[in-house]
Amino acid sequence: MSAFDADVIVVGGGLAGLAAAIAVAQAGLETLHVAPAAPPDRRTSALMMPSVDYLRSAGLIDDPAELGHPLTQIRIIDATSRLVRAPETLFDAREAGLTAFGWNFANTKLAEAFSTARTNLANLSARQASLAALDIGEGAMLTLDDGTRLHSPLLVGADGKKSLIRAAAGFRASENGFTQAALVCDLDLSRPLDGTSVEFHYPRGPFTLVPAGGSRANLVWIDDRDALKHAQTLSPEALARLFEEKSQHLFGRIGLATPTHTFALSTIAVDPAGKDGVVLVGEAAHAFPPIGAQGLNLGLRDVADLAAALRAADRSGAGWARTVSNDYARRRAADLKRTGGMVDALFRSLISELLPAQLLRAGGLWGMKALPGLRKRAFALGMGAGS
């Protein structure tokens, strides 16, 4: 009888954790998914087409139209009053030979679809609990909050920004906070977005409206924390008027469809993303401001590379889990470095008061507006191509 409780234990109940548990089980390993009870995630995720294609190939979703809304254009409007302003720029998916750049999904609907896919895997079991402690030796020894101890050769940490696994397993991580935060909610617009994600770039961060079907839009507004806190003190009517002003009255009267929520912004990077029979996926491995729709897209690329590392592994030897974790780290290194650097540089260029940074940003948008080759390269980077 094996001394292990499972071949792989996946810890973390978010979308990246669910997708990772399913991918591991689909690779043929006995898998245990450990996650605490949590309220529904009311946020949305804009997934680029490579991510949507992965979800479909992995059997996590069927027709994206049943769950989400297509993103056919991206419109960027410089709403600053700076000396150097970028041109208004429109990116159209048809230029890349696509019907859509991606799809905007409610996280609750994705979670339901993933949970349905999980029930079809006999080698995947779930335990509703939180991780309390972790020891790494001959495999990972987990202690849960109910006192249960579990042992597995390979551990997948998908336990978020404050990852206990990342800390307990000794991963090197760099973290930086920002004075900005993000405010999210759903809005009802008088004039619909019609598939176009619209970004108004303000000095302290973007004000972004993402299509959510019909006249509904998902708002992601990044600004100084004090400004967002003040906005939340306003009456619904006053807040709606503020949103109309920030969207330059392009969409007529605006109504609040859901309450507002704010969350702090920070960047987290690890190097490597796997070692000693432990791998990190999702926000346990990387986090950054919601710029360029990279968060869950990057997490799903983590999951795809984990699945590839498992398929390539020879599990006949005792050290297979360490081999998998090292292979996973190798596969993820370039993408994590490139994407993290791209998002960080873009965000800092948006909020920088330095003229050289503003010149670079404006010049880059002028180049993408005027040069089709540069615009196509930007499409590829934003969608994760070449990762």
Which carries the bigger pLDDT value, residue 383 or residue 49? 49
* Lowest mean pLDDT across 80-94, 140-154, 351-365: 351-365
pLDDT in tens, 228-278: 999 999 999 999 999 999 999 999 999 999 999 998 888 899 999 999 999
The answer to whether 246 and 228 are in contact (CB under 8 A) is no
pLDDT, residue 380, reads: 60
pLDDT, residue 104, reads: 96
- CA-to-CA distance for 14 and 12, rounded, in angstroms? 6
Whole-angstrom CA distances from 351 to 201, 306, 321, 361 are: 9, 35, 43, 11
pLDDT in tens, 5-26: 999 999 999 999 999 999 999 9
- CA-to-CA distance for 89 and 251, rounded, in angstroms? 18
